[in-house]
Amino acid sequence: MTAFSRRRFLAIAAAAAAATPAGAADPAPLYQWRGVALGADAAITLAHPQAESIVARARDEIARLERIFSLHHPESALVRLNRAGALDNPPFELLECLGLCGAVHAATGGRFDPTIQPLWALYAEHYAKGGGPSGPNRDALSEARARTGWNGVRMDAASIRLRTGMALSLNGVAQGYIADRVAALLRADGLENVLVNTGEHHALGGQPQGGAWPITLDDGRALHRDAVMLENAALASSAPHGITFDQDQRASHILDPRTGRPAPAGWRLISVVAPRAGLADALSTAFCLMDRPAIDAALAEFPRARLAHLG
């Protein structure tokens, strides 16, 4: 993997038991689709006679949402917003996701900030060109920071407007948000006992044969012994140094919007369980930049969210 790979270095694997209880009728076999969503490994696991057609609808939904949130699709809603600095008649999903961003930005003291994209682009260019290990120089960093700030985003149902020179990245929330939307689609169809994984997890019910879905956490160096048991809940994780800008793996891909500097080497893996994967995703991203007291204070703003792993 290169330092700039879009594929998540953090791997989260779900193992589903498929044993049939004694005396039970033979169920539909467990079916799992594997693919990619926003550059991350993705999977949908369920047991249903029409599993393939159900997954086909879910994949269509993932593709539709990628055309809203992707920074790599040349005509996605997000790319068009960044290119023009404004977007009229924005998709509801983009507005909803940005509303979530605003709530997490406030709860984390500004550590979660989608306007970080100019800084991210600066670091990517610096290291791609063989720049020094200390990162971009002070002047370049100051100029990029001047083009960030959540207070530069204006939005309502009719439009989204960015202050001149700004750009957004939703990489710290969109994978979770897409998991939520796919889960909502399946729930509306009356489905249950489905695990949606788009880089972050959303579980509808538990395993088809009973019990919660066991999610094994991997920070890229070691598997963690105790699996997170997920049922009617969502899980997201962030590994601050799982992806880095530099080959020496020192410059974390998660940048502090207050300083413009990469996340310190304080935490190796942060996992959050919440009712929505988008919320868990944004919180786990912000927590990479926070100490334990600050994390606890932010969690108090979301009573149904909790830490599943911090270390």
Instruction: Determine, yes or no, domain membership for 35.
Output: yes
Mean pLDDT of the chain: 89
Residue 245 pLDDT: 87
Give the CA distances from residue 20 to residues 25, 30, 180, 207, in Å, rounded to whole numbers and listed in that order. Answer: 8, 11, 29, 12
Q: Residues of the chain whose pLDDT is less than 70?
A: 1-27, 219-225
Q: Is position 2 within any domain?
A: no
Give residue 24's pLDDT.
41
Alpha-carbon distance of 20 to 27, in angstroms, equals 8
Q: Is residue 13 part of a domain?
A: no
pLDDT tens profile 256-277? 999 999 988 789 999 999 999 9
Which CATH number do you get for residue 43? 3.10.520.10
Cα–Cα distance, 90 to 81 (Å, whole number): 9
Q: How many domains is the chain partitioned into structurally?
A: 1
pLDDT at 225: 62
Q: Using CA atoms, how far apart are residues 208 and 108, in angstroms rounded to an integer?
A: 37
Residues 6+ apart with CB under 8 A from 4: 124, 128, 245
Rg of the chain over all Cα atoms, to the nearest angstrom: 20
Q: Do 47 and 175 contact (CB within 8 A), yes or no? A: no
Report the distance separating Cα 199 and Cα 70, nearest Å: 14
Spatial contact of 227 and 235, defined as CB atoms under 8 Å apart: no
pLDDT at residue 175, rounded to an integer: 97
State pLDDT tens for residues 188-229: 999 999 999 999 999 999 999 999 999 998 766 656 667 899
Phi first, then psi: what are they for 296, rounded to 5°?
-60, -40
Quick one: tokens of 129? 């060109």
**Which range marks the domain in which residue 264 is found?**
31-310
pTM of whole model > 0.85? yes
Instruction: Examine residue 23 and state whether it is found in any structural domain, yes or no.
Output: no
